Structure 1
Amino acid sequence: MPSTRVCFQRNWLRAVLLGLLAIGLAGCATVKVTGPSTAGHTYSPAFAQARDLASKESTLPADQRAANARAIDKLLAGLDDATLSADAAALPAGDPLYQYAGHALQRRGLPLPRPFDRGAWRFDAGNRPPAEGDGYRPPVKLAVLLPLSGSLAPAAAPVRDGFLTGYYGESRRRPEITFYDTAMVGAAAAYAKAVAEGNDFVVGPLGREEVSAVFRGAQGTVPMLALNRASVPPPAGNASFSLSPEDDGIAAAEYLRARKAVRVLVITGVDEGLHRAASALRDALAERGGTVVESLDMGGDAASLLARLQASVQKAGQVDAVFLATRASEARTIAPLLASAGLAGKPLVATSALASGTGKPAEDMVLDGIAYPTEPWTVRGVSGLPSAASVASQLKTARGPAARLFAFGYDAWLITAYLEKLALDPNGSVQGATGTLRLDPVGNILHTPTWSTFRGGMQVPLADAAAR
């Protein structure tokens, strides 16, 4: 199978990347670790109940474990920050509830009292040199699996260029990189070839089904950072990073929880991804003690849409906030109708799709006041990476909607270089282009986005919603 060996001599790479400004890696946040568990601690009733459920998890049939996990998450979601932190810190080492409690703390941006159990993680493959003082410890020989040809190549190009921008911006030791074209023989075969050629870490593949296929066969071999969520969890010692629609729904649930909005009306657009975001919001709200009181699908003219919206509001009763899982064009249709339906003054939250406005303030003014998650790089900038406008002026793969995938690729490099820190430091994080990056207990990379809104039809960051 063909592979692309990355080196400075490649003309295309010179044209794409070497013209960029000198780039340094984004720094890692300072961390703070709490003291040891408190002896004689009395757990809160909900936490004690969650602990009992967690202790029985290993004895449950497989088809009952998901429901048990949801029940645990819901109990923990009802605790205030101080109680959750104190109860989690008091858990003894090896307690099965700690993975759940630690994950709940991560979602709230709170510190972990101690690291997760990462016994299956290996960081000495390839005889890596010791980590630098800031946690930098990249692989020795790295494989990147992307569809470099075929129909998915346009989506892969900004991911590749963002990754290489971070890679070449690092002045310290860097791994040898080989790119493998998954469009040629498939992701599973590309992974097998990468393993056979002695790579000690793999980044990719990009497609959901590709990731699932590789995860099912990757156990016990070379660890990887998949660039999508799969239908199965990452095997122990592997990680997964994505900008999935579900992430938008989860981020919106956290945003609303912080504002004590527990009864949410959801309006959903026509895209399948938007329905996935709405479903993720529903599940995340339920875990955090909230609920979707009514759902409305877009469709029809403005008059019929208003009538259905009014009926939904009447049926829902109290509504604390509205979640718009819609395209920007659909949001421009529904936004003027909200006040007429009795929702004036309610917090309005959308997915990252809202960022695709028209670029014309006169038309986008209707979106004023709607909060939506976005990448810090595109609205605030991040340390070590030139501004989005500067990079876009030199690389077409960083312009318009592609900028999000470019930021995603850049962060994939950061995760690769700092994965040991993210895995073993209880509160290790990296300030990336897509947000603050952390690793959850099962190997999923969490990225806390920043939040923006429209003001006078212009996209502006929300001053009180910076990435944690």
Structure 2
Amino acid sequence: MTSHHSKLLSPSKPVRPFRRTAWALLVTLLLTACATAPPPTPQPPSALEQARSAYQQGDWSTAASRYNALAEGSDSDASALWLRAADAWWQDGDTERSAAALEQVMSTALNLQEQALESLLRGESALAAGDLEAATFYLSAALEHLPGTQISRLMTAQRTLQELSADPAAMTLAQVEDAISTLPAGDLAAAQTLVEKLQQLSDERLRQEAAETSPLGEWATLSLTLRDTLVQQQEITLAAQEWQQRYPLHPVNAEGYETLAWELGRQLATPTKIAVLLPESGSLSAAGSAIRDGMLAAYLDRPASSELVFLPVAADSESAVNAYAQASADGFDWMIGPLRRESAWAITEQADPRLQGLLLNTPQAPAAPAAEPVAIDPLPPTPVAETHSDGVAQAQPVTQPPMNPAAASEFLSISLSQENEAQAVAQRMLDQGLTRVILLLSDSAWGERVENAFIEHFLEADGQIIAIERFDNRQADHSTELTRLLQIEDARLRRRGLQNALGVPLEFEDARRDDFDAFFLAASPALGRQLKPQLRFFDAGEKPVYAMSRVFAGRPNPSLDADLNGVTIPTGRWVIALNTDSDETALRQLRSLRQGAFTSLHALGRDAWSVTPWLPLMRRDPTFRFPGASGDLRLNQDGQLIVEPLWGEFRRGLVAPAMTVADPR
């Protein structure tokens, strides 16, 4: 038994050599298999991966082209691919292709991060276009879900937005400056684009840039010079020659200047069909005729294709409203008039948005206190009894006709308000450092209105009213009032007191008060011619005298107006031209205006027509001044054309441009 068991445990053939051989064979087979198997073929990157790779490497053009191709062949992901293409085109500087790709994007098909990227891209596009409101909206929308890799880009856009919000013109100037450096020689179309961009800037900003010695400064000067050529109705060929003489190396030569001027002029179109509402009978007929003649004179100076139709209106407001309604029904697209304040108000109450216009007076509700019926008082006021006062004046409220707020978008207005003129004189005196003033006033309702307006403005600016004296227009000798006003009588009384006390005669000249800087004069021509020489007689002739324009009769008369020498008045270009030009045609035209009494109304008519094509610019740019016949016109936020007068001074009996006086302080 034992041997049998041992036999089973002891195999008849050896085992170890077999195992070694089998293991070696297995290893050999495995090594042979590894040595002979071919390597796997690498797969090329997909088109989407290629687009992503190009984008990550900053190869914007390649990335944009690949995304573009993918978007064109895709259905499900087209919007996301168009967005990537638009973004890459934008990064490459191809704004047109970027915009075209962005138009294909449907926001609803994007996820939140993609929508944020779309908002960022639209915000950047709005910034480049100068649309700050849209840029603000889109950049705010991009903030919440924008991928982290784009945050720095968003912050850059937001900083740019803040800078442009503080200075909106900076973007336009930067665009123009970049374009100047690459402007092709002789490319008038590109030059016109630059000029049109600059024309969008405010007049004030253009003049700031024009003062700089740089290529951009020269282009700003070109833009201003072109505008001045048109607004002053200069001969274009002559202006072009002058431009080339001043800037012989500028890319725009004389021929180019003419082309640009004609193109800009073409854009200054007047309305096609204009209704003019003016009185042809009644107490205002003469004023209406003066305005009509001025308007026609300006129309003939600058003929246009517009149809100008005069519609007569009566003194009542209903007549003006009916004429306005008829003009609207007949398809007129602009209106000028009416003249009465109440009629102007009535029209604003019935405003038709299809027919806008320029009112020839500031609208005043019928319930407002009575005021002058026309834009100015063309004839001398009716005198009343003499009164006078002395001492420091107190500010009195000035009745200002309320503007109908509902009509602000439909109507503009212009008037030669006497209150506005008085305030302009007050400001002029303050600007010249004349802060202590004596008032010399016509004793009339007109004089009282002027007094209130002047005092209110003067005291608000910390000026001092030293004394006030009112004069009767019917008297010629005003020595009693002047000796009292100038305190000469007080000096005489002191002399008599000393003589009586000393018991001996004393000799000395009469002394006047010297506690003031200047006189403000509100008087008719006759009263003004009386007072100025008498001021000289009482040793006050060297004090500056500023007067309302009414002191000028309206036509040159050197022999009579020599008594007004040295008096400064607010005036307009037409009046100064008439006083310095011997054009007989103009003088005959002036004589037809009540011997000059309606000169300012004639100038108002000229301005009502001439300013019309410039009103869109004035709505956009409150710093722009139109050089009108009445003065410089600017449009305020209430839609009122404010007349900023020129300043004239009587010299040798004629109104000449005034000289600035030195500040006495």
Q: What range is the shorter-chain TM-score in?
A: 0.5 to 0.7
**3-state SS of 1:199 partner:** coil
2:521 to 311, 319, 324: 324
Residue in structure 2 matched with residue 350 of structure 1 by the alignment: 547
Indicate if the aligned counterparts of 2:290 and 2:598 stay in contact, CA closer than 8 A. yes
Q: 3-state DSSP class of the match of 1:331?
A: helix
Question: Which of 466, 477, 486 lines up with 1:310 in the alignment?
Answer: 486
Check the 8 A contact 2:523/2:550 in 1, yes or no.
yes
* Match 1:191 to one of 321, 324, 342: 324
Residue pair 1:264, 1:292 contacting (<8 A) in 2 also: yes
Structure 1: gaps spanning 5 or more residues:
1-88, 94-109, 114-130
Task: Specify the code of the residue in structure 2 equivalent to 1:412.
Answer: A
SS at match of 1:393: helix
1:451 corresponding residue in structure 2: 647
Q: 1:451 to 1:388 in 2, by over 3 A?
A: farther
Percent same amino acid among aligned pairs? 31
Structure 1 residue aligned with 2:218: none
2:448 to 275, 299, 304: 275
Among 163, 167, 173, the alignment partner of 2:295 is 163
**Cα–Cα, structure 1 residues 217 and 320, in superposed 2: closer, same or farther, change >3 Å?**
farther
Given the alignment, which residue of 212, 235, 243 partners 2:345?
Answer: 212
Give the conservation status (yes or no) of the 8 Å contact 2:590–2:596: no
Instruction: Tell me if structure 2 keeps the 8 A contact 1:328–1:356.
Output: yes
The letter of the residue matching 2:516 is V
Mapped contact 1:112–1:426 kept (Cα < 8 A): no
Q: How does 1:212-361 map to 2 (within 5 A)?
A: 212-218=345-351, 220=353, 222-230=355-363, 231-233=401-403, 235-237=407-409, 238-299=411-472, 301-311=477-487, 318-339=515-536, 343-356=540-553, 361=558
Residue matched to 2:13:
none
| 1:419-458: CA deviation from partner (whole Å, max 9, x where unpaired) | 1111112422221111111111111112222222222333
Q: Residue 542 of structure 2: SS of its match in structure 1?
A: coil
Residue in 1 aligned with 2:618?
A: 422
Per the alignment, do residues 190 and 336 of structure 1 end up closer, same or farther by CA in structure 2, a change over 3 Å counting? Answer: same
8 Å Cα contact 2:622-2:636 kept in structure 1: no
Q: How does 1:403-422 map to 2 (within 5 A)?
A: 403-422=599-618
Offset of residue 248 of structure 1: 2.1
User: How far apart, CA to CA, are the structure 1 residues paired with 2:585 and 2:289?
Assistant: 18
1:307 CA displacement: 3.7
- Rate the CA distance shift 1:378–1:132 in 2: closer, same or farther, 3 A: farther
**Deviation beyond 6 Å, 4+ runs, structure 1:** 89-93, 312-317
Higher relative contact order (CA 8 A, sep 6+): 1
CA separation in 1, counterparts of 2:625 and 2:479?
A: 48
The structural deviation recorded for 1:190 is 1.9
| Secondary structure of the structure 1 residue equivalent to 2:624 | coil
SS at match of 2:596: coil
Aligned counterpart for 1:152 among listed residues 284, 290, 295: 284
Specify the SS of the correspondent of 1:371: strand
Distance 2:419 2:548 in 1: 10
Change (3 A) 1:423 1:458: same
Q: Is the 8 A contact 1:329 1:357 kept in 2?
A: no
- Whole-Å separation in 2 of the counterparts to 1:319 and 1:310: 10
Distance (Å, rounded) in 2 between the aligned partners of 1:136 and 1:358:
33
SS of alignment partner, residue 567 of structure 2: coil
1:181 equivalenced with 2:353 (yes/no):
no
User: 2 CA distance for matches of 1:294 and 1:139?
Assistant: 51
Using the TM superposition, give the Cα deviation of residue 192 of structure 1 relative to its aligned residue in structure 2, in angstroms: 2.2
**Following the alignment from structure 2 to structure 1, what is the Cα–Cα distance between the partners of residues 659 and 518?**
20
Q: Deviation at 1:337?
A: 3.3
Would you say the 8 A contact 1:137–1:420 is kept in 2? Answer: no
Q: Which has the larger radius of gyration?
A: 2
- Change in CA separation of 1:388 and 1:219 when aligned onto 2, cut-off 3 Å: farther
Query: Which of the pair is proportionally richer in helix?
Result: 2
Matched residues, number: 343
- Structure 1 length-normalised TM: 0.64
| 1:141 aligned partner, one-letter code | K
Aligned partners of 2:562 and 2:653 also within 8 Å: yes
Deviations 1:57-111 (A, max 9, x none): xxxxxxxxxxxxxxxxxxxxxxxxxxxxxxxx99899xxxxxxxxxxxxxxxx94
Amino acid at match of 1:194: A
Report 1:374-393 matches (<5 A): 374-380=571-577, 389-393=584-588
Root-mean-square deviation (CA, aligned residues, Å) is 3.7
The offset of 1:409, in angstroms, is 0.4
- Check whether the contact 2:555–2:590 (CA below 8 A) recurs between aligned residues: no
User: For the structure 1 residues 362 and 151, does the alpha-carbon distance in structure 2 shift closer, same or farther, using more than 3 Å as the test?
Assistant: closer
| Equivalent residue in structure 2 for 1:364, among 561, 582, 585 | 561
Once residues 520 and 446 of structure 2 are traced to their aligned partners in structure 1, the CA distance between those partners, rounded to angstroms, is 15
- The answer to whether the Cα contact below 8 Å between 2:622 and 2:635 also exists between their aligned partners in 1 is no
Alpha-carbon distance change, 275 to 144 in structure 1, aligned in 2, over 3 angstroms: same
Are the equivalent residues in 1 in contact too, given 2:311–2:323 (CA < 8 A)?
yes
Residues 243-252 or 456-465, more deviating: 456-465
For the Cα contact (< 8 Å) 2:555–2:596, is it kept in 1? no
State the match for 1:140 in structure 2: 272
Shift in alpha-carbon separation, 1:165–1:340, aligned structure 2, 3 A? closer
Displacement of 1:374 in angstroms is 1.5
2:528 partner SS: helix
Deviation sequence 1:248-306 (CA, Å, 0-9, x none): 21221222122011222111113433332232222222343324333221136423322
> 1:311 Cα deviation (Å)?
5.0
Residues 439/453 of structure 1: CA separation in 2 closer, same or farther (3 Å cut): same
SS where residue 264 of structure 2 aligns?
A: coil
Given the two structures, how large is their TM-score scaled by the length of structure 2?
A: 0.46
Indicate conservation of the 8 Å contact 1:414/1:430, yes or no.
Answer: no
The answer to whether the 8 A contact 1:240-1:443 is kept is yes
Amino acid at match of 1:252: V
Secondary structure of the residue aligned to 1:281 is helix
Distance 2:590 2:652 in 1: 29
Deviation at 1:132, TM superposition (A): 6.2
The question of whether the paired residues in 2 share the 8 Å contact of 1:388 and 1:403 is answered with: no
Structure 2 unaligned regions, length at least 5: 1-163, 169-202, 207-261, 364-400, 491-511
